[in-house]
């Protein structure tokens, strides 16, 4: 066996009355890894995080940190750094005092505290705000101080509970990069809870998608995006079209599926000819092309959502409406434009 994992959740459940917030969760996080727990609200991700911190007790199962079971270790003895959604800085303490808070409890001598706080302030690039109260800092600065407060204690585990969701968009992007940089440079094992798939994709080494207290899929951002193991996971990462089709022939892991009169594509999978299927396709994989008369799905534009870099079209096709996201390189197609739909078999996923 290699070195023990930084954190392990073994069949952990947390019940509130009859409701299971976390249900039989297994999770292993390697030393230095950055894991994102992704899910919508109520999926159990925050409860999982709080159990790692020791702020909540599991109803059953074990939490193991570096090979040691920590279920019974109280919060203050776990050596975790936690960053909260609303920064949770102590409003009556200066930035310096906030950062020094954890060091004080670790009996670090005063000069050492001063040194380490200064270093932490440099890491978060705010060396000049030590004497300010949280109310005298901007939202982004507050969150950086909160990060400094969490990392200065050199935690075994760094926990983020939606740390960016209270910030505005520009700041969010900036801090995203910043957090990633800090995490990589310090090499702290990090768990990051978020409901924002962009955040998870861009920051995490590994994403754990959660729903209903259970793990739905885990893997690298690319794995999860490319090969979602369920419609649920797929839909979590963007807009998805559902196309009806009929298997015409099959064999050797590939089947021919007819989508419309004269339109047939090879799709990975095996099903008896004649089977009716529903195929899923990401909106960004559906292309609108000029109608050149060759056999294709045809429709016309019914809605345009101009997003700057991209354009999202609603296209009526037969009885269905599909969504297509295209780079806004060409002129935007006006509503009513007749179009042909172009798609590739390998982008289709069986529902």
Instruction: Verify binding: residue 76, other proteins, rule CB under 8 A.
Output: yes
Residue 46 or residue 217: which is nearer to other proteins going by CB? 46
- The answer to whether residues 217 and 200 touch, using CB atoms and an 8 Å cutoff, is no
- The answer to whether residues 54 and 69 touch, using CB atoms and an 8 Å cutoff, is no
End-to-end Cα separation, the chain, in angstroms: 38
3-state secondary structure of 209: strand
Give the phi and the psi of residue 279 in degrees, each rounded to 5. Answer: -110, 140
Instruction: Verify binding: residue 75, other proteins, rule CB under 8 A.
Output: yes
Residue 54 or residue 221: which is nearer to other proteins going by CB? 54
The residue written with tokens 């906030």 in the block is: 98
What pairs with residue 160 in β-bridges? Answer: 83, 192
For helices 169-186 and 110-123, angle between their N-to-C axes, nearest 10 degrees = 130
3-state secondary structure of 196: coil
**In the complex, what is the shortest distance from the CB of residue 44 to other proteins, in angstroms, rounded to a whole number?**
18
Query: Given candidates 12, 38, 80, 208, which one binds other proteins under the rule CB under 8 A?
Result: 80
Residue 154 or residue 196: which is nearer to other proteins going by CB? 154
- The answer to whether residues 49 and 159 touch, using CB atoms and an 8 Å cutoff, is yes
> How far is 211 from 351, CA to CA, in rounded Å?
18
Query: Given candidates 20, 30, 73, 88, which one binds other proteins under the rule CB under 8 A?
Result: 88
Instruction: Verify binding: residue 110, other proteins, rule CB under 8 A.
Output: no
Residue 84 or residue 118: which is nearer to other proteins going by CB? 84
**In the complex, what is the shortest distance from the CB of residue 106 to other proteins, in angstroms, rounded to a whole number?**
6
Instruction: Verify binding: residue 235, other proteins, rule CB under 8 A.
Output: no
> How far is 326 from 328, CA to CA, in rounded Å?
6
> How far is 23 from 269, CA to CA, in rounded Å?
32
**In the complex, what is the shortest distance from the CB of residue 86 to other proteins, in angstroms, rounded to a whole number?**
6
Both tokens of 296, joined, read 């294709």
263-268 and 254-260 beta bridge pairing:
antiparallel
Instruction: Verify binding: residue 206, other proteins, rule CB under 8 A.
Output: no
The residue written with tokens 């096709």 in the block is: 317
Number of residues that bind other proteins (CB under 8 A): 29
320-327 and 310-317 beta bridge pairing:
antiparallel
Give the phi and the psi of residue 315 in degrees, each rounded to 5. Answer: -125, 125
Query: Given candidates 44, 58, 81, 299, which one binds other proteins under the rule CB under 8 A?
Result: 81
Residue 74 or residue 109: which is nearer to other proteins going by CB? 74
* Residue ranges in 157-176 that form contacts with other proteins under rule CB under 8 A: 159
CB contact set of 252 (below 8 Å; sequence gap of 6+): none
What pairs with residue 69 in β-bridges? Answer: 64
Residue 103 or residue 265: which is nearer to other proteins going by CB? 103
Which span (73-81, 118-126, 242-250, 297-305) binds other proteins, by CB under 8 A? 73-81
**In the complex, what is the shortest distance from the CB of residue 94 to other proteins, in angstroms, rounded to a whole number?**
14
**In the complex, what is the shortest distance from the CB of residue 170 to other proteins, in angstroms, rounded to a whole number?**
25
Residue 39 or residue 102: which is nearer to other proteins going by CB? 102
Query: Given candidates 32, 71, 84, 347, which one binds other proteins under the rule CB under 8 A?
Result: 84
- Which of 226, 256, 230 has its CA nearest to residue 347? 226
Instruction: Verify binding: residue 7, other proteins, rule CB under 8 A.
Output: no
Instruction: Verify binding: residue 316, other proteins, rule CB under 8 A.
Output: no
Instruction: Verify binding: residue 53, other proteins, rule CB under 8 A.
Output: yes
Q: How far is CA 7 from the centre of its chain?
A: 19
**In the complex, what is the shortest distance from the CB of residue 46 to other proteins, in angstroms, rounded to a whole number?**
12
**In the complex, what is the shortest distance from the CB of residue 35 to other proteins, in angstroms, rounded to a whole number?**
18
**Site of interaction with other proteins (CB under 8 A):** 53-55, 74-82, 84-86, 88-92, 101-102, 104-106, 149-150, 153, 159
């Amino acid at each position: 066996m290699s070195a023990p994992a930084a954190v392990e959740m073994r069949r952990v459940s947390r019940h509130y009355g009859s409701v299971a917030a976390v249900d039989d969760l297994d999770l292993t996080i390697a030393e230095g890894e950055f894991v994102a727990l992704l899910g919508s609200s109520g999926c159990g991700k925050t409860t999982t995080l709080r159990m790692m911190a020791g702020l909540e007790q599991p109803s059953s199962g074990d939490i193991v940190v570096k090979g040691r079971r920590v279920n019974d270790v109280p919060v203050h003895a776990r050596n975790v750094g936690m960053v909260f959604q609303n920064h949770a800085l102590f409003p009556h303490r200066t930035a310096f005092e906030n950062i020094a808070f954890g060091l004080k409890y670790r009996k670090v001598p005063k000069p050492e505290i001063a040194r380490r706080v200064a270093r932490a302030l440099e890491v978060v690039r705010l060396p000049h705000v030590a004497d300010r109260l949280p109310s005298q800092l901007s939202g982004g600065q507050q969150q950086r101080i909160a990060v400094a407060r969490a990392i200065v204690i050199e935690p075994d585990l760094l926990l983020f509970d939606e740390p960016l969701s209270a910030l505005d968009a520009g700041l969010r992007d900036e801090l995203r990069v910043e957090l990633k940089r800090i995490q990589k440079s310090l090499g702290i094992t990090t768990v990051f809870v978020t409901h924002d798939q962009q955040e998870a994709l861009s920051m995490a080494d590994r994403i754990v998608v959660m729903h209903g207290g259970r793990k739905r899929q885990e893997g690298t951002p690319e794995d999860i995006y490319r090969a979602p193991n369920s419609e649920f996971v797929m839909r979590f990462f963007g807009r998805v079209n559902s196309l009806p089709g009929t298997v015409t022939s099959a064999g050797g892991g590939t089947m021919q599926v007819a989508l419309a009169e004269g339109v047939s594509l090879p799709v990975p999978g095996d099903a008896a000819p004649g089977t009716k299927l529903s195929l899923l396709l990401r909106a960004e994989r559906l292309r609108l092309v000029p109608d050149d008369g060759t056999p294709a799905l045809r429709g016309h534009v019914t809605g345009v959502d101009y997003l700057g870099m991209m354009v999202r079209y609603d296209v009526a096709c037969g009885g269905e409406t599909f969504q297509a996201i295209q780079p806004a390189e060409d002129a935007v197609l006006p509503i009513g434009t007749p179009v042909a739909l172009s798609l590739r078999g390998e982008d289709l996923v069986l529902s």
